[in-house]
Each structure stands twice: as C-alpha cells, then as structure tokens.
Amino acid sequence: GRAMAHGHGHCRCCGADAEPAERGAAWGLYLRIDRQRLQCLNERREGSGALVFRAWEQRGDRAQFVESDDDEELLFNIPFTGSVKLKGVLVMGEDDGTHPAEMRLFRNIPHMSFDDTAREAEQTFSLNRDPLGELEYPTKISRFSNLHHLSMHFPKNFGAETTKILYIGLKGEWTEAHRHEVTLCSYEASANPADHRLEQISPRTHFIS
C-alpha cells in the first residue's frame, strides 16, 4: 500500500502473515535506481551488473547474476532518481569462493573508477557467505542520508579467481527530486522551439471560459 512506502512504523494489526510482503516492500530501492546511468566495472558480461538489483521476491533467481572479469574486483556506480536514506544492504552469492568477502560503500561520487577506490570508504563491511539472502548489513544512516549516488566496491572474495553476486538488496527511504529541476532538464532536452510555443499558447486557450 501507499502508507508502507513511506516506511513509518509497522502495521501491528495484521499479524505474522503480513511480514513477507512488508519485508519485500522495505527492499524497494531498486525501483529508484537510474538504470540508464547504472555502471558495473569489471563485469564479464555487459549489462549483467544491473540484473542483481531486482525485487526482493526474485532474489532466488540464480539465472540473473554478475561475475567479475579480469580479477575478483567489482565496482558498482548506482545513481538514484531522487534523494535516498540508505538503511541496509544485503549481498547474496554462491556458497563458495566466488562470494564477495568485503564491501566498501562510497557516497555521492559519480563515475567512480577503480583508482578512486584508494580513498577511504564511508563504511566497510566484512561479508559472510549468504547463499539464501538472509543477512542484512545496517549502514550508518547519518552517513548515507541525502544520498544521490552510491558506489559499492567489492575488493575481494573467499579465494576464487572471480567474484559472483546473485542479488544486492538496498533498503531505505526515497524522496522525490525537486520538481523545478525536472522541468529545467526537460527544457534543455527539447530543441524544437515549436514545442515551447505550444506550451505557452495552450494554457491560455484552455482556461478561457
């Protein structure tokens, strides 16, 4: 429902049967990713990095995964369509050496490269193998509020030559970007002056009673 989207409290009246749906809704930030600009560096198959950001209910789909190419490192650049308060992350992989062993999070550094990962991360996690997608890593929320861009660096795994990730869950709240910014962008995008004329004329004709 709409009320749930804001993340205010939990519905106490519904009993235990409401849990799974509510938990799924909490992991809905994948819907707020700007997929046109999402990047995964060192992915073996182009575009496969985007596949791991999907619905909570589909996290068990093992056909959708990303695997690293040259070595075990993976780096995701994840732009959002608004402002995000990131509360938790979940990383699911195979129960073997390809599972990432460490995760480093960076905030608001668009187009990060592997060179940029030398800087200090906002938060670093030691990961456990999580083949079922059960382990949630809570973020330091104060560091991940007003987040427009998240970079996730996976520097190493549990000993395999390549790293494989099946699913990444992002949990938190999303706020829409300001309306006027959106309008400015659309004006820049439309090069046809006729569009502007129509916009100016049509309100007057519609509102004459």
Distance of alpha carbon 39 from its chain centroid, rounded?
11
pLDDT in the model for residue 3: 44
Paired residues of 76 in beta bridges: 40, 152
pLDDT, mean of residues 165-171: 97
**Ranges of each domain in the chain:** 34-176
pLDDT in the model for residue 10: 42
Q: Alpha helix locations (H) across the chain?
A: 2-5, 19-26, 179-189, 193-207
Beta strands in 49-194 (DSSP E): 66-67, 74-92, 102-107, 123-126, 136-138, 147-154, 164-165, 167-176
Q: Helix, strand, or coil here: 160?
A: coil
10 Å Cβ neighbour count for 20? 11
CATH of 34-176, one of 1.10.3470.10, 2.60.120.470, 2.40.50.100, 1.10.10.10: 2.60.120.470
pLDDT in the model for residue 69: 97
Position with higher pLDDT, 57 vs 209: 57
> Which of the residue ranges 108-122, 139-153, 184-198 would you say has the lowest mean pLDDT?
184-198
pLDDT in the model for residue 179: 56
pLDDT in the model for residue 146: 94
Separation of first and last alpha carbons in the chain = 39
Contact 139, 148 (CB under 8 A): no
Dist CA 56 CA 42 (whole Å): 25
Confidence of residue 86 (pLDDT cuts 50, 70, 90): very high
Contact 176, 84 (CB under 8 A): no
By the 10 Å C-beta count (0-12 exposed, 13-18 middle, 19+ buried), 64 is classed as middle
Give per-residue pLDDT as tens, 38-83: 999 999 999 999 999 999 999 999 999 999 999 999 999 999 999 9
Dist CA 148 CA 108 (whole Å): 6
Q: Which two tokens stand for residue 72?
A: 């075990």
Dist CA 160 CA 49 (whole Å): 19
> Which of the residue ranges 128-132, 148-152, 177-181 would you say has the lowest mean pLDDT?
177-181
Cα angle value 181/184/188 (rounded, 5°): 140
Q: pLDDT over 70 for what percent of the chain?
A: 75
pLDDT in the model for residue 26: 85
pLDDT, mean of residues 153-176: 97
- The CA distances from residue 15 to 10, 18, 22, in Å, are 11, 6, 11
Question: What is the residue-averaged pLDDT of the chain?
Answer: 84
Any idea of the CA torsion for 197, 199, 201, 206, to the nearest 10 degrees? 160
State yes or no: pLDDT of 7 exceeds 70: no
State yes or no: pLDDT of 6 exceeds 90: no
pLDDT in the model for residue 202: 46
State yes or no: pLDDT of 27 exceeds 90: yes
pLDDT in the model for residue 207: 46
